[in-house]
Amino acid sequence: MYRIGIDLGGTNIAVGIVDEAQRIIAASDAPTVSQNGAGALLNDIAATVNDALARGGLALRDCAGAGIGVPGTCDTARGIVRYAHNIGWDGVPVTAELRQRLGLPTFLANDADCAALGEVVGGAAKGCGSALMVTLGTGVGGGFIVNGRIWSGHGGLGGEFGHMCIEMDGAECSCGQRGCWEAYASATALIRQADSAAKAHPESALNTTVLNGRTIYDAAASGDETARAVTARYAEYVGVGLVNFINALFPEVVLLGGGVSGAGEALLASVRAYVAAHAFVRETALLPEIRAAALGGDAGIIGAAALVH
């Protein structure tokens, strides 16, 4: 049987039909239009599902069920989106609504959790019973898989990995608190750190480029001392949060995703070195492997499909 994976984003609805080898064998997408209300958007989602099936020469009866990842706080047990600010949802009973439209068993989870699950069932953490996936993007997000299942907290209220305080009374965070990991380890924070370093070092190549994760790591790779110092310190910021979760939760593997993870080994090697030097477990061979996420945008679809059971 096939399963339907739906990754509902703030700008796009992405649907994939996933086979038992965790491959997307047919797909479709559509823009996310939220201003006409949840019912209209759910209709668009159902239409996109039907389009993906048609492209694969399949019908709903070929599928065991559908899973959907939503960018918000999800009460997965009850199938309700508590709130998803991007799309204006508040208390939407998504699984019941989709079941009505598709006539299939339907399951719900947060989109970042779906991405983590996708990497576990078919990506960089394939075969692992536990994994922590951390996304270094505009903010710092994450998903935690334990005993093969998403753990998003009681009532789905957890998963705010970026809002761990790593510096009491530290840098201001967009959430209103101080010292959050996100305020140091997000792409936004990296750019701010590079901007500040560039101003202090007029000779740096960082002054001659638009700053983003790629250009900062490129400048470091070219030997720019200021960029090297920025990326070295940034790896420590990423590392300190990973050490915290490794010490407490010790997942089998840690995955880094999001824009900054595109820096690849330049980021991973220095993060691994920090973790090896600071983790409570001193035997490096026992520590969780730290890897780049592998599935990119497909992770959310594959993970959403994996919710079907």
Residues 55, 188: Cα–Cα separation, whole Å? 38
Quickly tell me which residue has 């993870």 as its tokens. Answer: 261
Of 9-17, 199-207, 246-254, 299-307, the segment contacting its own copies by CB under 8 A is 246-254
Instruction: Determine whether 85 is exposed, middle or buried from the number of CB atoms within 10 Å of its CB (0-12, 13-18, 19+).
Output: exposed
Q: Which of residues 216-235 bind its own copies (CB under 8 A)?
A: none
Residues 215, 196: Cα–Cα separation, whole Å? 15
Shortest gap between Cβ of 142 and its own copies (angstroms)? 8
| 13 neighbors 30 (Cβ within 8 angstroms) | yes
Q: Which is nearer to its own copies, 243 or 293 (CB)?
A: 243
Shortest gap between Cβ of 177 and its own copies (angstroms)? 6
Residues 244, 275: Cα–Cα separation, whole Å? 10
Q: Which of residues 269-308 bind its own copies (CB under 8 A)?
A: 278, 280-281, 286, 288
Q: Which is nearer to its own copies, 48 or 231 (CB)?
A: 231
Q: Which is nearer to its own copies, 121 or 206 (CB)?
A: 121
Q: Which is nearer to its own copies, 2 or 237 (CB)?
A: 237
Among 157, 221, 232, 269, binds its own copies (CB under 8 A): 157
Q: Which is nearer to its own copies, 65 or 142 (CB)?
A: 142
Of 13-21, 115-123, 157-165, 196-204, the segment contacting its own copies by CB under 8 A is 157-165
150-186: burial string, b at 16+ Cβ within 10 Å, e else: bbbeeebeebbbbbbebeeeeeebeeeeebbbbbbbb
Question: Does residue 108 belong to the site contacting its own copies (CB under 8 A)?
Answer: no
Among 21, 57, 61, 154, binds its own copies (CB under 8 A): 154
Instruction: Determine whether 31 is exposed, middle or buried from the number of CB atoms within 10 Å of its CB (0-12, 13-18, 19+).
Output: exposed
Of 25, 18, 23, 15, nearest in space to 51 by CA: 15
| 154 neighbors 179 (Cβ within 8 angstroms) | no
Among 166, 205, 211, 304, binds its own copies (CB under 8 A): 166
Q: Which is nearer to its own copies, 5 or 139 (CB)?
A: 139
Of 100-108, 151-159, 265-273, 291-299, the segment contacting its own copies by CB under 8 A is 151-159
Among 159, 257, 258, 262, binds its own copies (CB under 8 A): 159
Decide: helix, strand or coil at residue 14.
Answer: strand
Q: Across-strand partners of 110?
A: 70
Of 105, 241, 233, nearest in space to 173 by CA: 241
Among 93, 105, 158, 259, binds its own copies (CB under 8 A): 158
Among 79, 251, 257, 303, binds its own copies (CB under 8 A): 251
Contacts of 273 (CB under 8 A, 6+ apart): 235
Name the residues that contact its own copies, by CB under 8 A: 129-130, 142, 144, 146-147, 149, 151-155, 157-161, 163-168, 170, 175, 177, 236, 240, 243-252, 278, 280-281, 286, 288
